[in-house]
Structure 1
Amino acid sequence: MPSITVRNIPDEVHRAIRVRAAMHGCSTEAEVRSILEQAAKPEGRLKLGTLLASIAREAGGLTDEEFALFDNVRDRTPAAPLSFE
């Protein structure tokens, strides 16, 4: 797993992160990972699939009922593994 070194963090920021970690009952390192994850992947972010589905609906694409019909007839058998010999 990759690691990051962050230098020159102001003392008050480091202290605030330590306090926040203690309030959450975790290490400072775990708290920093949590902060980075929340910043990089926020809860309310729009995911690609949701965006594409909304574009298709606006363009007159499949309705949910039509998609359900299509999804029910899809072949769900697993694909055979490739042979390279």
Structure 2
Amino acid sequence: MPSITVRHLPEETHRALRARAALAGRSTEAEVRAILESVARPQDRVKLGSLLAEIGQQAGGFDLEIKRDKSVEEPISFE
């Protein structure tokens, strides 16, 4: 798993992180991880599939007349 080192963090910020972690009942490292996760990947973010589905609905939708090919292919011969 990747790791990050933060240099030159002000002492006041470090104290605030420790206090926040203590209130949440977890380590400072776990608190920083939770903060980064909530900022980088918010719960209410729009995911690509949802965005594409919405664009399709706004365009009136579309039907592709593609039928699945269920025929069995011949195995490859390496001889």
Compute the TM-score of the two structures, normalised by the length of structure 2: 0.75
Alpha-carbon distance between aligned partners in 2 of 1:40 and 1:3, rounded to the nearest angstrom: 15
- Structure 2 counterpart of 1:25: 25
Alpha-carbon distance between aligned partners in 1 of 2:2 and 2:45, rounded to the nearest angstrom: 24
Structure 2: gaps of 5 or more residues: 69-75
Q: Which has the higher helix share?
A: 1
Computed over aligned residues only, the root mean square deviation of the Cα atoms, in angstroms, reads 1.9
- Structure 1 counterpart of 2:9: 9
Compute the TM-score of the two structures, normalised by the length of structure 1: 0.70
| Number of residue pairs aligned between Structure 1 and Structure 2 | 66
Residue pairs, 1:55-70, within 5 angstroms: 55-61=55-61
- Structure 2 counterpart of 1:69: none
Alpha-carbon distance between aligned partners in 2 of 1:53 and 1:2, rounded to the nearest angstrom: 33
Structure 1: gaps of 5 or more residues: 67-73, 75-82
Deviation >4 Å, runs of 4+: none
Q: Which has the larger radius of gyration?
A: 2
